[in-house]
Amino acid sequence: MSITWDWLGRVPYLDCLQRQRDRRNAVLDGSAQEVVWLVEHPRTVTVGRRPAPGTPTPEALARHGIAFAKVERGGLATWHGPGQLVIYPILSLPQRGFTVRAYIHRLEQGIIDWLAPYGVDAVRRAGAPGVWVDNDKIAALGVHIRHGVSIHGIAVNVAPDLGDYAHIVPCGLEGVGVTSLAQLGVRTDSLEKLAMDLGPELALRLSIH
């Protein structure tokens, strides 16, 4: 069975998280199908289950106009905001025949292949989930699996304000940077148009074992 996809536009982070949780429950009880959602968020720093060294307090972030959320995904601190395309597959891994490792690999490779026509030579790194260009991360990845169904996903930096990353240690990795398509000199369409390109491609990739 194919997976549907949809562009949700700009959605507050916590609203979208609750929507993911609700959809996962619906997939688990059989009342809804799997889906890939593509979104953009207002400026938000999120931290996963482990402590995230160097992350400012929610109050300090709020003084810069940045929201804060502590969530159930793996990984440490990451940033979401305008100019970043975020992809949330709500997917039954057992139904698709994926192990968690294979699922993460499929997400990373989908972004790597999507970036290639823009002239971006992106790769994955052992022990450092996400997508990399040289020593800079262009896409951050973090997922949460419950009863075999995933939420959270992967976030691609298209043309965000990379200055916001100065507030955190991205993914807890010292000595590495972040980049974006814009910083690499790649001109792109709007996020909505990019979502229309990536959405069906990634949904198809995740449909096929």
Distance CA 121, CA 24 (A): 34
Is 67:61 a contact under the CB 8 Å cutoff? yes
In the DSSP assignment, the letter for residue 83 is T
Catalytic residue among 61, 86, 159, 171: 171
What's the CA angle centered on 144, arms 141 and 146, to 5 degrees?
A: 160
Is 16 annotated as catalytic? no
Q: Is 170 exposed, middle or buried (0-12, 13-18, 19+ CB in 10 A)?
A: buried
Beta strands in the chain (DSSP E): 4-10, 35-40, 44-47, 67-70, 77-80, 84-90, 123-125, 128-133, 136-146, 149-157, 177-178
Is 66:45 a contact under the CB 8 Å cutoff? yes
Distance CA 85, CA 149 (A): 22
- Which DSSP string corresponds to 92-109? BHHHHT--HHHHHHHHHH
Give the active site residues.
171
